[in-house]
Amino acid sequence: MSLEYVLLVLSVSHLSLVCIYVLVHHRHLYLGQLIVLYAVCLIAYLLGTTSEEYFDQHITYLILRRLGTLCVLIVWLISRELFVDKKKIHNAFWYFAALYLVLRTSGTYYAIVVPDTNWLMLSLTWGVSQVIMFCFIAHALYIAIVGYET
């Protein structure tokens, strides 16, 4: 049994316990539901990144990786829930979130399923999705800093 496997099992079991605890005690709160979703997406990310060689089919790998991709958006939603009083989320968030997911999914598809893809297409899909991801994380940090000061 390798160290990577042991750490994977420990991480997944810990995140599973977090999910169970939050589901038992805070399942009716929006923040509790976001935390459970975040933990599930982290579990999918861990399984998707550490177990590439165990998947015969690309679809399982792609599903796990797409769930892992949602972590960035969920962190932004958690930050907004904790630090913003005005709860309405603008439509721009949903547009950028959809664009981020589409670009990230197509970039993964081009990188894994069609490895001899044009480098420009691969660079655009991965590059633009990375910029959007960075903006979501930077904005989540900004929300937290401004919300903490007030």
Cα 127 from Cα 85, distance rounded (Å) = 33
**Contact criterion met (CB below 8 Å) for 55 and 42:** no
Q: What is the structure's pLDDT at 117?
A: 66
Q: What is the pLDDT of residues 101-149, one digit of tens each?
A: 998 888 877 777 776 667 788 788 888 889 999 999 999 999 999 887 7
Q: What is the pLDDT of residues 4-26, one digit of tens each?
A: 888 888 999 999 999 999 999 99
What pTM, to 2 d.p., does this model score?
0.84
**Residue 109 is encoded by which pair of tokens?**
């598809």
Q: What is the structure's pLDDT at 55?
A: 56
Q: What is the pLDDT of residues 85-105, one digit of tens each?
A: 877 888 889 999 999 999 888
Q: What is the pLDDT of residues 59-79, one digit of tens each?
A: 777 788 888 889 999 999 999
Cα 150 from Cα 140, distance rounded (Å) = 16
Q: What is the pLDDT of residues 27-47, one digit of tens each?
A: 899 889 999 999 999 999 888
CB atoms within 10 A of CB 47: 21
Q: pLDDT band at 52, cuts 50/70/90?
A: low
DSSP letter for each residue of 78-118: HHHHHH-S--PPPHHHHHHHHHHHHHHHHHHHHHHTSTT--
Cα 121 from Cα 127, distance rounded (Å) = 10
Of 31 and 52, which is predicted with more confidence? 31
Q: What is the structure's pLDDT at 74?
A: 94
Q: What is the structure's pLDDT at 72?
A: 92
Q: Burial code of 59-86, b = ≥16 C-beta within 10 A, e = fewer?
A: eebbebbbbbbbbbbbbbbbbbbebeee
